[in-house]
Amino acid sequence: MNSDLLGKLLASRKYRDICPDTVRRVWDACQRRYKRPKDAEKAAREALHGITGAFMTPREVALLADDMRAWHADQTDAGLERMLSRHASTRERLPLADTDALYGRLFEVTGRPQSMLDLACGINPLYLGARGIRTTGIDISGQAVASINAFASSYGMPVSAVCADLLCPGAIPAERFNVALLFKLLPLLERQRAGAAMDVMSAVDADFMAVSFPTRTLGGRNVGMAAQYAAWMEGHIPEGRTTVGRFETENELFYVLS
């Protein structure tokens, strides 16, 4: 019965794009928490909906594929900006000049990296690849990962991505990177499992780690999130790391740890 329900979730059109390990992880947790299979299924569906959110709608996925094909003709910054506008997180850093300025500030602290690891990357590696930065991305969204790998193979960009769940064993590469990005990720991880943010930060092997937090609601309101996340971050610096940079943009707070 329970394996039937898991099979149903794995086969569901709604969750087909999500890494199967995530579906299994969420199902296991809900099954442990709820005695009645019906309750466990309802809770699992709610949790999966919360994790995947609406970062990229099916229409945006289709438009991104068109944008990527169109980029072939001229490879302009306007075309890159169109691609980045298809995911909620990269969209919030546009216009492209603002994204360039943000990485300018980051690289003032870290130097221009030889290698980057982008955890829960969304489609951010499209930007990094277009700017010539070797990047490995990880995300549970099959569509985001496929877009990055298609970008790499169509245009020879120095990026690759893996569909994996950061809360499952083996998802974080063992190799060392210059800079690891954990953009708008830690609050999401904490919601999925208490303590997960620290576990993931501690497992990353990188000279620098850049962590960011949203400071406005999805509707654009300022409700004191910056102060709340700053207090959280300052109380959760992983052992052996020090804060070497902190800056804010209009809607995001950044910490750089060495």
Ligand X SMILES: C[S@@+](CC[C@H](N)C(=O)[O-])C[C@H]1O[C@@H](n2cnc3c(N)ncnc32)[C@H](O)[C@@H]1O
Q: Name the site residues for ligand X (rule: CB under 6 A).
A: 51, 55, 89-90, 120-122, 124, 138-141, 144, 165-167, 183-185, 188, 192
In whole angstroms, the minimum distance from the beta carbon of 236 to ligand X comes to: 18
- How near is the Cβ of 128 to ligand X at its closest, in Å? 10
Ranges of beta strands (E only) in 34-158 are 116-119, 135-139
**Minimum CB distance to ligand X, residue 178 (Å):** 17
CA angle 118, 110, 242 (to 5 degrees): 90
Q: Taking the complex as a whole, how short is the minimal distance between the CB of residue 226 and ligand X, in angstroms?
A: 16
* Closer of 6 and 181 to ligand X (Cβ): 181
Q: Which helix (H) or strand (E) holds 162?
A: strand 159-163
Residue (of 120, 95, 93) closest to 216 by Cα position: 93
Residues 6+ apart with CB under 8 A from 32: none
Nearer to ligand X, 37 or 230 (CB): 230
**Residue 89 C-beta-side C-alpha neighbours within 13 Å:** 20
From residue 228, give the alpha-carbon distance in Å to each of 12, 213, 222, 224, 234.
37, 10, 12, 7, 10
Looking at beta carbons only, is 81 or 139 nearer to ligand X?
A: 139
Pick between residue 199 and residue 207 the one whose CB is nearest to ligand X.
199
The nearest distance, CB 220 to ligand X, in angstroms, is 15
Q: What are phi and psi of 230, to 5 degrees?
A: -65, -45
Between 7 and 53, CB nearer to ligand X: 53
